[in-house]
Structures are given as C-alpha cells and as structure tokens.
Structure 1
Amino acid sequence: MTSELPPQLPLGSPAPISSTFGTVAAASVMAECLRVQTDVPPRGAVARTFGRSPLSDDSRPWYVGALGELDVASRLDALGDDWTVLHSVPIGTRGSDIDHVVVGAAGVFTINTKFHEGARIWVGSRRLLVNGQPKDHLRNTRYEATRTQKLLSAAARTEVPVTGVIAIVGAKQITIRERPSDVAVLDAAQLTRWLKKQKPRLDQVQTVALSALVRDAATWTSESQHQPDISGFDALHREVVGAKRVRMIWIGVVLVSLLGLTLPAAIGFYSRVFGG
C-alpha cells in the first residue's frame, strides 16, 4: 500500500505506554507450544538414551514457529534507534497476533515470519509454494497488513500506509517468479537491509507520533494484556537440542561401524582383483 501521509499526524494527548507490550518475541507461540507440550508424557530412559525428541507432532509446529520468530527478532535488533520494533502484537479479540510490527521513516511494516528449514520456495504474484505445496502465506499477510492499516488509520485519524512482509527463515532456495504487488517476500537474512533501503515517507514528527501509537496496546485490542508464562521454553529448547545431539552421535556410531565392516572387505576385494 503506497498512499502517502498528509504533512502531519495528529498528536493529541499521548496514551500511557506499557514498558513490556510487544517486547517479547514469539511470546504467544512459545506459550502455545508449552501449553500443547503439557499433554506430552516425559521421555523414558530408552527414549532419552537414543535421543528421541521430547516434542509431539502437535507441539513441533509451534516450537519451530517460535524459533523462526526469534531468529527474525534478533535480526531486527540491528535496525537501530531510528526504528520502533514490536513483537507478538495482539490484534482484535480472538487471540490473533502479528509476529512483528516495524515503524520507521519508511512507514509501517507488518512482518509474517515463516520457518521452512531446507525448503524450496516458489513465489508468484498470487501464489506461494513450499516444496511444491501451496501455502496461504500471501493471503494471510495481505489480511494482516490491511487490518493493521485500518486500525492505525482510525487511531491516527488519517491514512497510514502499511506494507506486509513475509520473512522466510531457513529455506534452501527462494525463487521469485513474479513479485506480488502488495507483499514483499524476503529471505530473513535480507530483511534489515531491505527495510533500511525503503524510501522515507514520514518526517521525524510523524514517525515519533506513529511509533507512540503502535506501542499503545489500546490501539490494537480492547482486551487487557498480560505477559504469558514462557519460562519453560528455554528448558524445552535445551532438551530438544540435547536430543538432537544424541541422535547425531548415534548416527556417527552407526556410520563408523558400517565403515569398519565394509572397509576390510573392500580392501580384500581390491587385493584379489588387482593383486595389490
């Protein structure tokens, strides 16, 4: 959306701004991962010995989603003080949230993070495929940007330009066949550079006013806000990483064993055939 702002945003009386609102990346995703994980029984001794993942099929997508949002959040830290960055921003009254909201002189950006480790991404003007399978990423990102524009424009009492962005984490390849006209699709590694290169559309006063607006929870939702308990996520993450290391050790043991069995046979065969 490319509409320009008028010369001034109405400032009005600034609302109190929560010191914690929007500051914890992936908060809602981590909380949901932990909620789903509570139904998963602890691993037994055999499962731990062989490195079975502690995650269930239901909790794994939430866990992976949290890793993606944390990755993008760490990259957005590099934007600097001229930018306002919020994470896990609640919107509406049905538990929805926006992964990241960024405000700078170039305007407002809603960022939808997707973690597709090792995947091949194909992007057209109306379709996005992951390993050949269609996904709703473009539609959902358009909806987030449009919804955000309506909320901010109503709060600011003037038209606020909002751009939707899809930040893809971990993909093996991203092929842009045709760029969507209203959504930017980027490798997460390119995100901060892309944001800094965008054309300025706000002056300093407008940027400050709009930043204050997005940091006010009342702009986004009428529901009271509380920080979800995510204290157990670090422990879960360490357990998942530890299980993966154990599996890698077992894979190494198997490969070494197979090599030990096949190498003498191969040497013997070579000696018999070639007289070595």
Structure 2
Amino acid sequence: METNGLGGRPAGHSVMVEVLRLQESRPPRRGVARIFGANPLAPEARSWFWGALGEQRVARVLAALGPEWHVLHSIPVGKRGSDIDHVVVGPAGVFTLNTKHHRGANVWVAGRTLMVNGQRTPYLRNSAHEAARASALLTRSAGYPVEVRAVVVLVAPRKVTTRSRAEGAVVVTDSVLRRWLARQPRTQSDDDAARLAGLAAQPSTWGADGPAGDPLQTQASFEALRAEVVRAQGRRLVWFLAGCAGVVATALGSLPHGLFAR
C-alpha cells in the first residue's frame, strides 16, 4: 500500500467519520439497556456502520494481492464530500471499486440493472460515473490517457443471479475479487503502475483538500464502537439462549409425571 499523501487513509475512512458524527447525538446506554445488550448504534448510523465493515473486508482481500499492485482507500474527490471506496493500480491497469455490503441478500444482474432483494439500485450507473471521473482526473495529472475500469464489489451476498453481462461496471463478490484481478491481462509495466499509483495518492490529483481529521484517531474511535456493538450482540444472544432454555424447562415440567420412566 502507498504510504504518502492519501495512502495513509484506512479503508472506510469517510464512512467511519460519518458513523461517528451520527453517533454524537445518541446518548450513552445506561443501566438496563446496557445489561440487556441494547444496540449502541443510532438508527441512522447503522447502514453506514455496515458499509464501513464492508469496505474493511474488501481491503483485507486487496491486501493479499502481490507487491506489483497498489491499493488506496477512501479517496476524496472534489470539494463536495464524494469519495471512491478503493482505487487499485497494477499490471492490469486502474480500477475503481465501489463496495456494497449486502450480507445474505439476493442480487440480480442484467445489462444496466442491478437489483438487491428485488429493489433496483443505481450501483452500475454510479460506478461507471465514478470510473469516468477518475479517468479524466488521472489523465490530466499523468499527461496521457488513463483508462479506468469500474467494479462493483458485493460483500457477502447469499446469491448472485446474472441474466446478462452488467453494463457500465463489472460485478464481482468479495470472495472472488482477488482472483478476478489477478486474471486480468497485463496492460502496463510495473514502473508505469507505480507512477500512476503515486499520482493517485496525491490529493491534488482529485481536486481534494486531503484527509479530513486524523485517520488513526478515526479508526481507533470506530474500532471502540465496533467492540461495543459486538459486546451488545453477545449479551442479546445470552439472553435469547437463556429464554429458550427457560421455555424448554417449562415445557418439560408440564409433561405428565413418569412419561419418560421405563
């Protein structure tokens, strides 16, 4: 991974910032709520929280690529808060990855349509726009045409049904992403890839002001929140299992005496 400029941003940085901002208005859990494992996440922060986890999961997949690949995360673009989840530069060229966390969902793809659990999404259109914008900005910075391919990465879906090839972006799951990238034909030298990665790591390339806040502090605060969420889930599970055990004990106690006697 790049270590200069934008290279220090952790995966999901922009999303984590939004989660923490939304959490500021939620009062801390106290007493019974904490004991029974009430969800510590503000309702409006929950989709952002899972989005951040999805980007982190994809980052772990990308970290397994060889040293000839360069990976940047949460790249800010322009002045209006837009960002690209992941920019990947390597022997096969440049890719913008749009991560979508849909654990257990059914996804249907055909042409320009991508539906999640029967609901149309703008993922293909948005990803194609994102790649075109990245191509224009990298071309301007590099001084020669830079092609950028759009990829939608689906994290942990239950099933993906492809009726016809997606238009505007490639659609892959996180489980096959690394293999898919590694299979793509070489389009540039390792030196050219390293140069492009260096340009991609500069905030000026994207017309951005650079990282907002301290990425390390943001990640630390998010991980503390994540640990709190996991503890709450554990408490809810304990109470659920205790309830099930109580129901079973009550049912057994109501059976006729000696039913199981020989």
TM-score w.r.t. the length of structure 1 is 0.87
Matched, 1:262 2:262: no
Q: CA deviation at 1:262?
A: 2.0
The counterpart of 2:174, out of the listed 188, 192, 201, is 188
Matched, 1:43 2:60: no
The residue aligned with 2:231 is 242
Q: CA deviation at 1:225?
A: 3.9
- Counterpart code for 1:30: M
| Alpha-carbon distance in 1 for matches of 2:198, 2:145 | 16
- Counterpart code for 1:215: A
Q: Are the aligned partners of 2:90 and 2:190 in contact in 1 as well (CA < 8 Å)?
A: no
Structure 2 unaligned runs (5+)? none
| Alpha-carbon distance in 2 for matches of 1:39, 1:157 | 46
Q: Are the aligned partners of 1:18 and 1:217 in contact in 2 as well (CA < 8 Å)?
A: no
| Alpha-carbon distance in 2 for matches of 1:204, 1:41 | 51
Q: Are the aligned partners of 2:127 and 2:152 in contact in 1 as well (CA < 8 Å)?
A: yes
Q: CA deviation at 1:222?
A: 4.3
Q: What is the SS of the residue equivalent to 2:64?
A: helix
- Counterpart code for 1:36: L
| Alpha-carbon distance in 1 for matches of 2:39, 2:221 | 16
Q: Are the aligned partners of 2:125 and 2:168 in contact in 1 as well (CA < 8 Å)?
A: no
Q: CA deviation at 1:131?
A: 0.9
Q: Are the aligned partners of 1:85 and 1:103 in contact in 2 as well (CA < 8 Å)?
A: yes
| Alpha-carbon distance in 2 for matches of 1:22, 1:164 | 20
Q: Are the aligned partners of 2:103 and 2:157 in contact in 1 as well (CA < 8 Å)?
A: yes
Q: CA deviation at 1:271?
A: 4.7
Task: Go from structure 1 to structure 2 and tell me whether the alpha carbon gap of 1:222 and 1:245 turns closer, same or farther (over 3 Å shift).
Answer: closer
Q: CA deviation at 1:155?
A: 1.5
Q: Are the aligned partners of 1:91 and 1:97 in contact in 2 as well (CA < 8 Å)?
A: yes
The counterpart of 1:173, out of the listed 138, 154, 159, is 159
TM-score w.r.t. the length of structure 2 is 0.91
How big is the alpha-carbon RMSD for the aligned residues of Structure 1 and Structure 2?
2.1
The residue aligned with 1:67 is 53
The residue aligned with 1:19 is 4
Structure 1, 224-233 or 26-35: larger mean CA deviation:
224-233
The counterpart of 1:77, out of the listed 44, 49, 63, is 63
Q: Are the aligned partners of 1:22 and 1:88 in contact in 2 as well (CA < 8 Å)?
A: no
Q: What is the SS of the residue equivalent to 1:232?
A: helix
Q: CA deviation at 1:116?
A: 0.9
Q: Where in structure 1 do 4 or more consecutive aligned residues deviate above 3 Å?
A: 224-229, 267-272
Aligned residues: 257
Q: Are the aligned partners of 2:61 and 2:178 in contact in 1 as well (CA < 8 Å)?
A: yes
1:95-244 matches, cutoff 5 A: 95-228=81-214, 229-230=217-218, 231-244=220-233
| Alpha-carbon distance in 2 for matches of 1:135, 1:171 | 15
The residue aligned with 1:10 is none
Structure 1, 129-138 or 220-229: larger mean CA deviation:
220-229
Q: CA deviation at 1:63?
A: 0.8
Task: Go from structure 1 to structure 2 and tell me whether the alpha carbon gap of 1:134 and 1:181 turns closer, same or farther (over 3 Å shift).
Answer: closer
Q: CA deviation at 1:168?
A: 1.1
| Alpha-carbon distance in 1 for matches of 2:139, 2:95 | 14
Identity between Structure 1 and Structure 2 (%): 41
Q: What is the SS of the residue equivalent to 1:81?
A: coil
